[in-house]
Amino acid sequence: MTTITEQQTQTQLNMFNRLGTFNHEQIVFCQDEATGLKALIAIHNTVLGPGLGGTRLWMYDNEESAINDVMRLSRGMTYKASLAGLNLGGAKAVIIGDNKIHKTEALMRKFGRFVENLHGKYITAEDVGTTTKDMEYIKMETDHVVGLPESMGGGGDPSPVTSFGVYMGIKASAKHVFGNDSLAGKSVSVQGIGKVGGHLIEYLHKEGAKIYISDINDEVLSKYAKDFGCIVVPKEDIIGLDVDIFAPCALGAVLNTENIEKLKASIVCGAANNQLADETIHGPMLMQKGIAYAPDYLVNAGGLINVYSEHIGYNREIAYGSAEKIYDTLMAIYKKAAADNTYTQKAANELAEKRIHDMMLVGSTY
Ligand code: NAD
């Protein structure tokens, strides 16, 4: 039998310090030699409800990167669920491995067993590196999984609801900046015409917006130019385009010190996660330039809203109804940011934290 060395005890102490950095409740290390499973489930905060967040399967360079990622992502879920007004906490899981080599039915089902052992404190879903099929395997071991296909009573692809939420965000931003939420005649540039960007274009087109698009996939660009009259622009020109609204719907960290200087849009509102390379630098920078920035984690919450709806018994109308509320929440954020003379991302974070704090008080009398 091996003994616990001083170094191991020190590592444990460091882990507790790290849990304290973002005030995480729990991190579960899952290890199974037979299936090769190495996974981490981080439960950040369950004041509002069970922690819901996808399972990412990724070949991390080292364990340190996996721990950092799962902690950062699970905390982000707490804020997203709170601001979306859902009775959900924040959590996330990562499985360390190569999608093409390590992912098997046995591995996913074993992971499902670990999820089951948390008795509903953590609810999993699809994320980068996992698919609806993987959720079906997990479902064989636990009911604490969402993002199942419609044929299994799930909500199917969440992207259309995400697009609708972004559309609501764009309309609220137009109301805030132009005094009117009609997008007729407004120019909008959309970066990334994937699952979310594509549906968003349909909404924008219906309202008579003038749409500029960029993507790395030429086929998709030709299709949207033909079907919706979008104007294709080179991908390096999309951020600095002279338009009313810029909608980043491709990658994270698209806005940095250099390209914010070039931004001509009055509004930035899109689906991409973590659009600001550094929110404490680029949030204030956008504010100083007088650009209305719609916090990404609010306007792209439609996907989470859709899976939450699945958790409580899927109803498409209710999911869209909740996503519609993104409009009012964003108006409240613009109002708060102006009143506090601060940037919108900070105002959003404060509203999310306030809701968690207030609901803790509700719990205190039960
Ligand atoms: P997707 O993979 O379907 O689409 C992304 C598109 O961006 C692709 O067409 C890709 O070719 C394009 N792209 C990649 N690099 C580009 C570049 N440099 N310039 C221009 N285009 C580029 O992804 P999606 O599901 O549409 O999600 C879009 C973004 O929204 C992602 O950041 C995602 O994390 C975020 N998001 C999506 C959802 C959802 O429900 N799908 C929910 C919340 C957040």
Mapping DSSP onto H, E and C, the string for 299-357 reads HCCHHHHHHHHHHHCCCHHHHHHHHHCHHHHHHHHHHHHHHHCCCHHHHHHHHHHHHHH
Nearest residue (CA) to ligand 1, atom 27: 196
Q: What is the pLDDT of residues 54-80, one digit of tens each?
A: 999 999 999 999 999 999 999 999 999
Q: What is the pLDDT of residues 218-243, one digit of tens each?
A: 999 999 999 999 999 999 999 999 99
At the topology level of CATH, where does 159-355 sit? Rossmann fold (3.40.50)
- Of the residues 38, 80, 92, 103, only one is catalytic, namely 92
Q: What is the pLDDT of residues 5-25, one digit of tens each?
A: 666 666 666 888 888 888 999
What spacing in Å lies between the alpha carbon of 113 and ligand 1's midpoint?
A: 31
pLDDT score of 126: 92
pLDDT score of 3: 60
The token pair that represents 148 in the structure block: 């199942």
Q: What is the pLDDT of residues 88-106, one digit of tens each?
A: 999 999 999 998 889 999 9
Which of 77, 221, 249, 269 is the pocket-test mutation for ligand 1 (most atoms within 8 Å of CB)?
Answer: 249
What spacing in Å lies between the alpha carbon of 176 and ligand 1's midpoint?
A: 26
Nearest residue (CA) to ligand 1, atom 35: 272
Q: How far apart are CA 246 and CA 22, in angstroms?
A: 32
pLDDT score of 156: 84
Task: Print pLDDT tens along the chain (366 aa).
Answer: 556 566 666 666 688 888 888 899 999 999 999 999 999 999 999 999 999 999 999 999 999 999 999 999 999 999 999 999 999 999 999 999 998 889 999 999 999 999 999 999 999 999 989 999 999 999 999 999 999 988 888 888 899 999 999 999 999 999 999 999 999 999 999 999 999 999 999 999 999 999 999 999 999 999 999 999 999 999 999 999 999 999 999 988 999 999 999 999 999 999 999 999 999 999 999 999 999 999 999 999 999 999 999 998 889 999 999 999 999 999 999 999 999 999 999 999 999 999 999 999 886 665
Find, among 174, 84, 168, 92, the residue nearest to 125 by Cα.
92
Which of 52, 189, 195, 255 is the pocket-test mutation for ligand 1 (most atoms within 8 Å of CB)?
Answer: 195
92 catalytic residue (yes or no): yes
Nearest residue (CA) to ligand 1, atom 25: 195
Return the ligand 1 atom nearest residue 214 CA: 20
Domain ranges (residues) in the chain: 24-71+90-145, 159-355
Q: Same CATH fold, 159-355 and 24-71+90-145?
A: yes
At the topology level of CATH, where does 24-71+90-145 sit? Rossmann fold (3.40.50)
What spacing in Å lies between the alpha carbon of 148 and ligand 1's midpoint?
A: 21
